[in-house]
Amino acid sequence: MFRISQYMRELDKLVKGADAVLPPHRQPPGPVVIWNLIRRCNLTCKHCYSISADKDFPGELDTTEVYGVMDDLRQFGVPVLILSGGEPLLRSDIFDISRRAKEMGFYVGLSTNGTLITRDNIHRIADIGYDYVGVSIDGLKETHDYFRRRQGAFEESMNGIRLCRENGIKIGMRFTITMDNAHELPEMLKLMEREDVDKFYLSHLNYAGRGNRNRKDDAYHQVSRDAMDLLFDACWDDVQAGRHREFVTGNNDADGVYLLFWIARRFPEHVEYMRARLEQWGGNSSGVNIANIDNLGNVHPDTFWWDYHLGNVRERPFSEIWQDTRDPLMAGLKARPRPLKGRCAECHHQSVCGGNTRVRAWQLTGDPWQEDPACYLTDEEIGVEGTSERLRMFPYSRRSIPEKYDFQ
Ligand SMILES: C[S@@+](CC[C@H](N)C(=O)[O-])C[C@H]1O[C@@H](n2cnc3c(N)ncnc32)[C@H](O)[C@@H]1O
Ligand code: SF4
C-alpha cells in the first residue's frame, strides 16, 4: 500500500521549512494479515481475485480454528488484521471473531462490499469498534452495478457507507481502476467529498481470479498516469487545506516513483530527501509485510497469489510457514534486491518500487521475476533503452490505445 497523504504531509512540512532529517527505518514486528474468512459472496464482481459467488465453499476454517490461528498471529507480532472474503458479513461468527481480535489488541479492519450493512446490524458493527471499514465502490451507479454485476448494488453500498458515517465509524471507499471506470475517477472524488468519506483507496487491477480472466480491461498506462496525477493533485490540495483525509493506492508500486516525478516538477529542492523516504518504504511488500490466509487456511504471499500455496495453518502455524524461505517464491520476495528480470532488473528506481507486482509477471509469463507489465513508467524514465511507445500501450496485450480514447 502506498500512502500518498503521508508523504504529501511530509513534503508540506519541508516546503514550510522543516528540517530534512530522515526518521529511523522501522521494520514492523510482523506482517499485516489480510484474512479471507469466507469465500461466499452475494456479488460476483468482474475483477474478483477470490472468484467468489453465492454458494458454500466446503472446508472453511471454523470459529475454533480461527481463534487458534489468531493466538499464533498475535504471538508472532502481527499488528493488523483485515477481515475480508468473499463477503465477511455473510459469516455468522464475524462479530465474535472481530470482537476477539479487538480484545487481543489487533488493529482490525473490515473489508466489505457494504451491501449487507443495514439499519438492523449497524449497531452491532459499531459496537465492535473496527479501526476502519473499507467499502468497495467501483464507479457511479451504472458502472458500479455493471462492474459488480448486480442492479442496485451501488445504492446498497452507499447506504452502508452512510450508516457507518452516522455511527462514527472510520470509513473508506475502495475503487479498483480499469478501462470500465477510469473516466469516472473525478466524479468518485466528488462523491467522496459529498459523502464526507475519510479515506480513498485506489487499487490498480491485479491479475488474479476473475481479474486475470478480465485483464484485457486493465487500464492503459497513460490512463493510470492520468489517474495518479489527479489523485496527487487532490491529495496535495487536501493537505494545503489542512484536512485529514487519506489517499492511498495499492497494487502498482510505480506510484511511488511517479510521485517523485510530481515532486521534481513542483519542489525539485525536496526530491532527494523524498526519494530517501520512499526508499525506506521500499515499494512492494508481498511476502514481507503483507500476508494472506484464505478461507481454507492456505497461506499466500498476498491476496493475489491464491494459486500459489505456501502451506496451511491446519498443518503448520502461520508463524512457521511465513518464515520458511525454502519456498523459492518466498526466498525471492524476501530478498533485497529481488531477483528481477527484464526492464525491472535494469530500472533505476528499483529501490523505491521494490520491483512492483510480481503476480502480474507470473500470470503473463509463468516467471514471477519477469518485468511487471503494468508498470506505466516509460523506458526513458526508468533509465533503460527502449521505445517511447509504452504510454500508448495496454499492459496485457501490448496493443496500442484506440485513437478515439479521450484521456480528458
Ligand atoms: C475480494 S474483496 C472482499 C471484500 C468485499 N467483498 C469487497 O468486495 O469489498 C476485497 C477487495 O479486493 C478488491 N479486488 C478484488 N479483486 C481484485 C483484483 N483482481 N485486483 C485488484 N483489486 C481487487 C475488491 O474490489 C475489494 O475492494
Ligand atoms: S470483489 Fe468482493 S463483493 Fe465482489 S465478488 Fe469478490 S468478494 Fe464479492
Q: Ligand 1 centre and the CA of 48: distance in Å?
A: 6
Closest residue by CA, ligand 2 atom 7: 86
pLDDT, one tens digit per residue, over 224-242 is 999 999 999 999 999 999 9
Q: How far apart are CA 66 and CA 335, in angstroms?
A: 30
Q: Is residue 358 in some structural domain?
A: no
pLDDT, one tens digit per residue, over 382-401 is 999 875 556 555 564 444 55
Ligand 2 atom with least separation from CA of 47: 1
Q: Is residue 379 in some structural domain?
A: no
Ligand 1 atom with least separation from CA of 48: 16
pLDDT at 206 exceeding the cut of 90? yes
Q: Is residue 374 in some structural domain?
A: no
How much of the chain exceeds pLDDT 70, in percent?
Answer: 95
Q: Is residue 36 in some structural domain?
A: yes
Res 28: pLDDT: 87
Q: Ligand 1 centre and the CA of 79: distance in Å?
A: 22
For 214-269, give the DSSP string: TGGGSPPHHHHHHHHHHHHHHHHHHHHTT---EEEEES-THHHHHHHHHHHHH-GG
Q: Is residue 179 in some structural domain?
A: yes
Closest residue by CA, ligand 1 atom 7: 113
Q: Is residue 92 in some structural domain?
A: yes
Ligand showing the shortest atom-to-Cα distance for residue 211: 1
Q: Is residue 255 in some structural domain?
A: yes
Res 219: pLDDT: 95
pLDDT, one tens digit per residue, over 351-382 is 999 999 999 999 999 999 999 999 999 999 99
Q: Ligand 1 centre and the CA of 49: distance in Å?
A: 7
Res 402: pLDDT: 45
CATH number at residue 174: 3.20.20.70
Q: Is residue 346 in some structural domain?
A: no
Q: Confirm if 38 and 91 have CB atoms less than 8 A apart.
A: yes
Amino acid making up residue 104: M
When pLDDT is averaged across residues 201-229 and rounded to a whole number, the result is 96
Domain that holds residue 200: 2-18+28-335
Q: How far apart are CA 366 and CA 205, in angstroms?
A: 18
Q: Ligand 1 centre and the CA of 134: distance in Å?
A: 10
When pLDDT is averaged across residues 140-162 and rounded to a whole number, the result is 97
Closest residue by CA, ligand 1 atom 26: 136
Instruction: Domain count for the chain, please give it.
Output: 1
User: Which H or E run contains 311?
Assistant: strand 311-312
Cell 526518521 appears where?
A: 23
